[in-house]
Amino acid sequence: MLDKATPPRTLTLNAADNVAVAVDPVDVGVTAAGVTALKRIPRGHKLALSRIATGEPIRKFGQIIGFATVDIPPGEWVHEHNTGFHAFERDYAFCAEAKPEFVLPVEQQATFQGFRRQGSNGNPGKAGTRNYVGILTSVNCSASAARFMAEEVKRSGLLADYPNVDGVIALTHGTGCGIDYNGESFEVLKRTTWGYACNPNMAAVLVVGLGCEGFQIKRMKDAYGVEESDVFRTLTIQETGGTKKAVAAGIEALKVMLPIANRAVRETVPASELMLALQCGGSDGYSGITANPALGKAVDLLVEHGGTAILSETPEIYGAEHLLTRRAATREVGEKLVGIIKWWEDYTARARMDMNNNPSPGNKAGGLTTILEKSLGAAAKGGTKTLAAVYHYAEQVKSKGFVYMDTPGYDPVSATGQVAGGANILAFTTGRGSAYGCKPTPSVKLATNTPMYLKQTDDMDINCGDVLDGVTLEEKGKEIFDYLLRIASGEHSKSEEMGYGDAEFVPWQIGATM
């Protein structure tokens, strides 16, 4: 507990800022950051350092996070009651801060123990961090049958004979019909389903359909030139003769797949084979100060070791996109990101929504006031490296280094797109305490503050709250990087230990449901 004689700690993040962040609660009448608090400032919230006139910008991180809706005196609590949001011009300065990347020679790169998949033309395939057999569905109508298959495998004890297999997982969803099979909904679901089927954490896949749905399995197979094999099977309930017969046929297919999947063994693989998905959920006022920039340091390390990191959640980089366009490798890359931002502005307007509908109530309770403030903190997950490429949802990520993928901010939908893109490990920062897992890709939870970490220690993997106590971002970033290598090598994350990940497969439904 803080000694009452000790002034509460605050952080001023940039010399241009006119607010400070309360590390400790600041009571009325207490002096902190050189001003006397006029209202109680909860921890993680903002304290005005000087007078901010109505209409003037409020600055944090040296950037605009909102505008004063009333005159704000020094010492005032700065939050929803006196802060507003409106659009303003941002300087995209395409490529201004892009620089050639330094990548360590292969012999100096860190390694992990992964599953090397079969390649082609004599080249090694991608490397997985897990070894799952998946049951995917083309439509919600086949979801129960897929689940029955996975439950029967678990109940039967069959997996005991295959110790190298991490599990048989049924990844079901709520769409697949009532869609235009010539439209965007079909294309996105097709990319997502095939992306999971060929994710390196999958050793083998069975795709189960009903038969009459809009999302026809054959159309997906034709699109990607896929043939049936011992590690890729499909069936439909209607063609097989009903649910019971389909489940029995599925079990027989799995019995063929499991021995093949079990042949995979871990071997030494360079860290350049890691593709790290970056997520944040349940963010708070500390996210952009501790866990997100610390994860950004780990991303920089991963890129230097030849690996790939995927930043996403477009509604949660809105207002910070100019920091990414400056790092774009080419103007084309930067303009693609800006085009995606404009698509989202139109998308939300058509749905009678507002880009500032985010932050969530929990985010606001944790100290975040506007989407601009949240985005500036969220973008810090991406580190400082050059933005090599920008991808649409669930597209296969082929570039190395730091890349961006367009996804919603809703974590299950966002992570589903990243895993479909090839992510074989995921890091998830949280300030309020998110409950999340991501089979077949292990999810590592990073707590932004110590009180939440101690309260939810069963869910959290790493405490980044000690950054507020003097641990440097570089030290914390190295801790995260080393921990990711351990998880990639087979150590279970907290969410894996609890069994999270079966229900978090949520493909993005962009188009109309008919």
Q: What is the pLDDT of residues 52-81, one digit of tens each?
A: 999 999 999 999 999 999 999 999 999 999
Is residue 316 very low, low, confident or very high in pLDDT (cuts 50, 70, 90)? very high
Asked if residue 393 and residue 340 are part of one domain, the reply reads yes
How far is Cα 152 from Cα 163, in angstroms, rounded to an integer? Answer: 18
pLDDT for position 1: 46
237-246: b (≥16 Cβ within 10 Å) or e: beebeeeeeb
Amino acid at 502: D
Q: Which residues, in sequence order, are bridge partners of residue 386?
A: none
Asked if residue 238 and residue 186 are part of one domain, the reply reads yes
Query: How far, rounded to the nearest angstrom, does the alpha carbon of residue 314 sit from its chain's CA centroid?
Result: 11
pLDDT of residue 2 exceeding 80, the answer is no
How far is Cα 135 from Cα 208, in angstroms, rounded to an integer? Answer: 7
Asked if residue 280 and residue 245 are part of one domain, the reply reads no
pLDDT of residue 371 exceeding 60, the answer is yes
pLDDT averaged over the chain?
96
Whether the Cβ atoms of residue 227 and residue 155 lie closer than 8 Å to each other = no
Is residue 512 very low, low, confident or very high in pLDDT (cuts 50, 70, 90)? confident
pLDDT for position 5: 66
Cis peptide before 440 (omega within 30 of 0): yes
pLDDT for position 479: 98
Instruction: Quote the crossing angle between the two packed helices 217-224 and 184-197, to the nearest 10°.
Output: 70
pLDDT of residue 3 exceeding 90, the answer is no
Whether the Cβ atoms of residue 414 and residue 313 lie closer than 8 Å to each other = yes
Q: Residue 100 falls within a domain, yes or no? A: no
Residues sharing a CB contact under 8 Å with residue 91, sequence separation 6 or more, in sequence order: 322
Question: CB atoms < 10 A from the CB of 268, how many?
Answer: 10
Q: What are phi and psi of 39, to 5 degrees?
A: -135, 165
pLDDT of residue 124 exceeding 80, the answer is no
Q: What is the pLDDT of residues 24-48, one digit of tens each?
A: 999 999 999 999 999 999 999 999 9
Whether the Cβ atoms of residue 151 and residue 487 lie closer than 8 Å to each other = no
Whether the Cβ atoms of residue 312 and residue 414 lie closer than 8 Å to each other = yes
Asked if residue 291 and residue 397 are part of one domain, the reply reads yes
Whether the Cβ atoms of residue 127 and residue 269 lie closer than 8 Å to each other = yes
Task: Give the number of domains in the chain.
Answer: 3
Q: Residue 210 falls within a domain, yes or no? A: yes
Q: Residue 97 falls within a domain, yes or no? A: no
Whether the Cβ atoms of residue 64 and residue 51 lie closer than 8 Å to each other = no
Q: What is the pLDDT of residues 323-353, one digit of tens each?
A: 999 999 999 999 999 999 999 999 999 988 8
What sections of 380-448 are H helices per DSSP? 411-420
Domain harbouring 36, CATH code: 2.30.130.110
Question: CB atoms < 10 A from the CB of 225, how many?
Answer: 6
Point out the domain boundary residue: 59, 84, 109.
84
Question: CB atoms < 10 A from the CB of 133, how many?
Answer: 27
Point out the domain boundary residue: 267, 289, 310.
267
Question: CB atoms < 10 A from the CB of 50, how many?
Answer: 13
Asked if residue 340 and residue 311 are part of one domain, the reply reads yes
- Residue appearing with tokens 């366009």: 325
Q: Percentage of the chain with pLDDT > 70?
A: 98
pLDDT of residue 113 exceeding 50, the answer is yes
Q: Residue 152 falls within a domain, yes or no? A: yes
According to DSSP, the β-strands at 19-22 and 425-430 are unpaired
Q: Residue 107 falls within a domain, yes or no? A: no
Asked if residue 317 and residue 232 are part of one domain, the reply reads no
Asked if residue 221 and residue 163 are part of one domain, the reply reads yes
Q: Residue 106 falls within a domain, yes or no? A: no
Q: Residue 324 falls within a domain, yes or no? A: yes
How far is Cα 463 from Cα 89, in angstroms, rounded to an integer? Answer: 37
Specify the higher pLDDT residue, 456 or 118.
Answer: 456
20-42: b (≥16 Cβ within 10 Å) or e: bbbbbbbeeebebbebebbbebb
Question: Which residue in 153, 170, 137 sits closest to 255, CA to CA?
Answer: 153
Is residue 197 very low, low, confident or very high in pLDDT (cuts 50, 70, 90)? very high
Q: What is the pLDDT of residues 137-177, one digit of tens each?
A: 999 999 999 999 999 999 999 999 999 999 999 999 999 99
Asked if residue 452 and residue 357 are part of one domain, the reply reads yes
Asked if residue 181 and residue 235 are part of one domain, the reply reads yes
Helix (H) / strand (E) containing 479: helix 473-488
Domain harbouring 177, CATH code: 3.40.50
Asked if residue 305 and residue 255 are part of one domain, the reply reads no
Q: Which domain holds residue 39?
A: 10-84
Q: Residue 303 falls within a domain, yes or no? A: yes
For the four alpha carbons of 218, 128, 393 and 210, in that order, the dihedral sign comes to: positive
pLDDT for position 4: 58
Asked if residue 168 and residue 56 are part of one domain, the reply reads no
Asked if residue 407 and residue 337 are part of one domain, the reply reads yes
pTM of the model: 0.96
Which tokens belong to 363? 């985010």
Which tokens belong to 431? 């300030």
Q: Tell me the average pLDDT across 407-421.
A: 97
pLDDT of residue 123 exceeding 80, the answer is no
